Amino acid sequence: MMARASTSVNRRNDIVAAAIEVFAEIGYYRATTAQVAERAAISQPYVYRFFTKESLLVESLSVSWKRIVQAFQVVIDSSAPEELESGLIRAYEGIMQSYRSEILLQMQAQTIPDAPIREAMQQGINEIRDLVGNAFVSAGFEDADKKISDFLARGMLCNAAMAMDMPDLMPKK
Amino acid sequence: MMARASTSVNRRNDIVAAAIEVFAEIGYYRATTAQVAERAAISQPYVYRFFTKESLLVESLSVSWKRIVQAFQVVIDSSAPEELESGLIRAYEGIMQSYRSEILLQMQAQTIPDAPIREAMQQGINEIRDLVGNAFVSAGFEDADKKISDFLARGMLCNAAMAMDMPDLMPKK
DNA sequence: TAATTGTAATTGATCAATCAATAATATAAC
DNA sequence: GTTATATTATTGATTGATCAATTACAATTA
């Protein structure tokens, strides 16, 4: 009776998109696979045709890190040295507005020690650091090491300010 | 039969100390009140004589913020301006070594939107920012606003590096 | 004996994961 | 083109385990 709604590939994407939102809003451990299923408009058992709860988190994190890498790559490929850093900052601010849930999910994952999640986080951060670090070096910045460290630190404070609804934590202008 | 082991006040402290460890290790939502009770060497129902699970988290956060405030106050009260910032950084590093669980708990709480927890976090951070901010101003630093922002950002990166076991994230030196 | 300290037993709810089945589509044969 | 067969998509029902919270009761001390 029910019409077949989608392909398997689309279903995977639907489920991951739903999981990112539900996990971010409710918290990974508090959120249930039934809630993810409801948001994806499928049944709870069908989620398990594609993911376990943990593999769903790992996949969600992978999506979130790819989003940042890709946005930064665009900036790096199209920026003069004097606009590189401000361009990266603007790109990150854009992601925080449009994909807030993905950042909230990364923040949650920071304190989850289970190996697959820990590895996804380490890999994501390392990729960002290498990407931005190399771009700073290529741009001819002398203190690239300090610059990348400051960049990451500012990003972390930015995340915290967003998560806890404390915009005053970020310096104006 | 069993000898009375402690006073009510001591019991509260025992339970909070146990909760900080268990919540940090296992994660607040995954951890059970039975695990907290076991670590505190009491029965699970007896935890509820003092706390609900949520009030236990709020109390744990309060302890963790007081720890930082107190350590920073000592540094501020005893440092010459030229050693103020480095003293604060060393104090924070000491806390991260000796009270790692408290920091991990704060990181978890960053993404928990429930009002009592959110309020405990906002209050804690604001108190730190005011304390350090005033100290920077009193020390005669001109760019106190940027300095406090950088200080907090560095702290956030420090937390993340510790939580994810990525010491390379912090700049050597 | 009255208050305080404590626990065993239980409850009601919740949840990740599985199973057994059905519906829809595609393919092939006639 | 209609029938038979296989494949994919999907769900209802269930399960086994877990957990926060309560209740009813026992031991200890002042």
* Residues within a 7 A CB radius of strand D: A 2, 4-8, 11, 42-46, 49; B 1-4, 30-34, 44-45, 48, 52-54
Residues 6+ apart with CB under 8 A from A166: A160, B122, B125, B126
Within chain A, what is the greatest distance between any pair of CA atoms?
66
C-beta contacts of B131-134 below 8 A and 24+ residues apart: B131/B69, B131/B72, B131/B73, B131/B76, B132/B72, B132/B76, B132/B88
CA distance B117 to chain A (A): 10
User: Given this model, what pLDDT does residue B1 score?
Assistant: 35
Q: Which residue has the higher pLDDT, B36 or A1?
A: B36
Instruction: Give B171's Cβ-side CA count (13 Å radius).
Output: 15
Report residue A146's pLDDT band, with 50, 70 and 90 as the boundaries: very high
**Rounded CA gap, B23 and B4, in Å?**
27
Secondary structure element (H or E) that encloses residue B113, with its range: none
Residue in A closest to B144 by C-alpha: A171
Residue A42 pLDDT greater than 60, yes or no: yes
- What residues of chain B lie within 8 A of the CB of A145, using their CB? 171
- Of B28, B153, B166, which is closest to A157 when you measure between CB atoms? B153
Whether B23 contacts B103, CB under 8 Å: no
Measured between alpha carbons, how far is A34 from B139 in angstroms, rounded to an integer? Answer: 55
pLDDT at position B10 is 82
**B37, closest nucleotide (Cα–C1'):** C7
Inter-chain touch B171–A146, beta carbons under 8 Å: yes
User: What is the distance in angstroms measured between the alpha-carbon CA of B18 and the sugar C1' of D27?
Assistant: 25
Q: Any CB–CB contact under 8 A between B54 and chain A?
A: no
pTM for this model (two decimals) = 0.93
Q: How far out from the chain centre does Cα B61 lie? A: 6
Mean of pLDDT values over A99-123: 97
Which pLDDT score is estimated for A47?
92
Q: Is the pLDDT of residue A7 over 90?
A: no
pLDDT digits (tens, 9 = 90+) for A88-97: 999 999 999 9
CA of A120 to C1' of C26 (A): 38
User: Given an 8 Å threshold on Cβ–Cβ distance, is B27 in contact with A112?
Assistant: yes
* DSSP secondary structure, B41-95, as one string: TS-HHHHTTT--HHHHHHHHHHHHHHHHHHHHHHHHHH--HHHHHHHHHHHHHHH
Task: Give the model's pLDDT for residue A2.
Answer: 37
**pLDDT tens digit string along B74-133?**
999 999 999 999 999 999 999 999 999 999 999 999 999 999 999 999 999 999 999 999
pLDDT of residue B3: 42
CB-closest option in B28, B150, B164 to A110: B164
Predicted confidence (pLDDT) at residue B8 exceeds the cutoff of 80: no
Q: Is the pLDDT of residue A1 over 90?
A: no
**What pLDDT band is residue B5 in, cutting at 50, 70 and 90?**
low
A18/chain B closest Cα distance in angstroms: 18
Assign 3-class secondary structure to chain A. CCCCCCCHHHHHHHHHHHHHHHHHHHCCCCCCHHHHHHHCCCCHHHHCCCCCHHHHHHHHHHHHHHHHHHHHHHHHHHCCHHHHHHHHHHHHHHHHHHCHHHHHHHHHHCCCCCHHHHHHHHHHHHHHHHHHHHHHHHCCCCCHHHHHHHHHHHHHHHHHHHHCCCHHHCCCC
Nucleotide nearest to B34 (CA to C1'): D19
Residue B77: half-sphere exposure toward Cβ, Cα within 13 Å: 6
Residues B86, B66 contacting (CB under 8 angstroms): no
Nearest-5° Cα angle at A71, A66 to A74? 125
Shortest CA gap A22–chain B (Å): 13
Taking the Cβ of residue A169 and every Cβ of chain B, the question of whether any pair is shorter than 8 Å is answered with yes
